[in-house]
Amino acid sequence: MRRLILCVMMVMIAGCACADIEEFRHFSLDVPYGWTAEEDGAVVTVTADDKSGSLSITIGSPESRDIGELAASFSNELNGTPPVSDDDGNYSFEFNNGISQATITGDSDFFMLIIGTGLVNNAETLGRILDSLEMK
């Protein structure tokens, strides 16, 4: 009987940790239990219910600017550090005294700005959410 109860409890715990795939205009994401997702125009925000972390994804048109110019513009608006480019042409910067990190990627047709906040306590969860991102 104890084994049955233990087995049922393990199934319940595993079920609580499962994510729900949510569909948005441009992509889908697995949203973990204990997190909520909202879409407002071009921005999707996924937030921990306890507000300990969040991830926002913005997709839009670069309006004739290259990704470097766009990254500089966003960084300036957010009072961030100067954007740094990686080998793939993506740009990253920090703001809010390093509490939030932003990465922007894209091409002449679209850009994607990803902002993670609360990475210290939620890095693994935020990484899993991003890994689940599937463009439409």
Q: Please say if the pLDDT value at position 9 is more than 50.
A: no
Give the count of domains, the chain: 1
φ, ψ (nearest 5 deg) of residue 25: -55, -45
* 20 against 113, higher pLDDT: 113
79 falls within a domain? yes
CB atoms within 10 A of CB 71: 27
* 112 against 13, higher pLDDT: 112
Tokens 């463009």: give the residue: 135
Domain with 92 in it: what CATH number?
3.40.1000
102 falls within a domain? yes
- 106: its two tokens: 């894209």
7 falls within a domain? no
Name 122's Cβ contacts closer than 8 Å, sequence gap at least 6.
48, 52, 53
117 falls within a domain? yes
pLDDT of residue 121: 78
What band does 8 get if pLDDT is binned at 50, 70 and 90? very low
42 falls within a domain? yes
pLDDT, mean of residues 84-111: 93
91 falls within a domain? yes
Domain residue limits at 57: 19-135
53 falls within a domain? yes
Closest CA to 29 of 41, 46, 6, 12: 46
State pTM to two decimals: 0.82
10 falls within a domain? no
